[in-house]
Amino acid sequence: MIKSMSKQDSFALLPGHGRYDYVPINRRPGYRWPSGAGLAFYVALNVEQYAFGEGLVEDLVPGMSEPDILNASWREYGTRIGAWRLLDLLKSLELPATILLNSAVGIHCPDLVKAMCDAGHEIAAHGRTNSESQAGYSEKAERELINHVADSIAAVAGTPPRGWLGPWLAETPLTPDLLQENGYQYVLDYCADDQPIWLKTRNGRILSIPYSQEINDSAAIMGRFVGADQFADMIIDQVDEMLEQSTEQALVFGLAIHANIVGQPFRLRQLRRALRHVAELSDRIWITRAGDIADEIMTHPERAV
């Protein structure tokens, strides 16, 4: 006999996206990363291209009149200067990175993409441009966008991207389904966990890899007006605390940075301090790329809930 649902039960059922189940961190299988590390760390470097005078923006100074030369040129600093300085910093510390690339960067700055690939960094997709959001797209339009981004990145990087971060982390109700169906292996849009987890899709599943929205220069520095020195301290505290927490369970810290923000010289100096601290812990931390974390889980799929 089917039990009827009480009024109280029906009120308790809140809408959800249904992509993953609730599994608390202390009820999951224990495992370690390569070389026995408990904490995996990767740099997620956002390199973005914006349209001039139209679309979505991230501004340094609000309320400027059009044409907004100040904010537009501040955003362009990322590809002209910031990304190159960050590549030098990563090289000096021997740190790999996952580059979250607007595919339009490959059209406007192909030599920058080549330099990133030559340095051994992973290229993951970050949509076409941060001047647009795919929220509200039809299924056909979103599928075309996702395919276009993969083809455009493959044309300049040599291989299609395996991972995806949506511009502005915007999705439609079908985004994980379309990513999985079009060959993407992982997505960074979900900030609900410190471990990789499986997302349910209509034709299988796709891996969600942690990407920080707290230790993120856009959210912290531009959104909450955190100073460069404080942001560096936040990175160090996050690493040190997660390293202690990872004695029992494998965890992931994905540091989210943007070329036009921490690429500014005074912020770069503080970032160097934080990343040097990370590099000095390389015997205890798996310093890697998001795609390598995905590979490890693909090899041991039972590790992700």
Is position 195 within any domain?
A: yes
* Entry pTM: 0.95
Is position 148 within any domain?
A: yes
Neighbours of 122 (CB within 10 A): 25
Is position 129 within any domain?
A: yes
- Ordered per-residue pLDDT tens for the chain, 305 residues: 455 556 566 667 899 999 999 999 999 999 999 999 999 999 999 999 999 999 999 999 988 889 999 999 999 999 999 999 999 999 999 999 999 999 999 999 999 999 999 999 999 999 999 999 999 999 999 999 999 999 999 999 999 999 999 999 999 999 999 999 999 999 999 999 999 999 999 999 999 999 999 999 999 999 999 999 999 999 999 999 999 999 989 999 999 999 999 999 999 999 999 999 999 999 999 999 999 999 999 999 999 99
Is position 11 within any domain?
A: no
Is position 17 within any domain?
A: no
Number of domains, the chain: 1
Assess contact for 106 and 156: CB atoms under 8 A.
Answer: yes
List the CATH number of the domain containing 104. Answer: 3.20.20.370
Q: Which domain holds residue 264?
A: 28-303
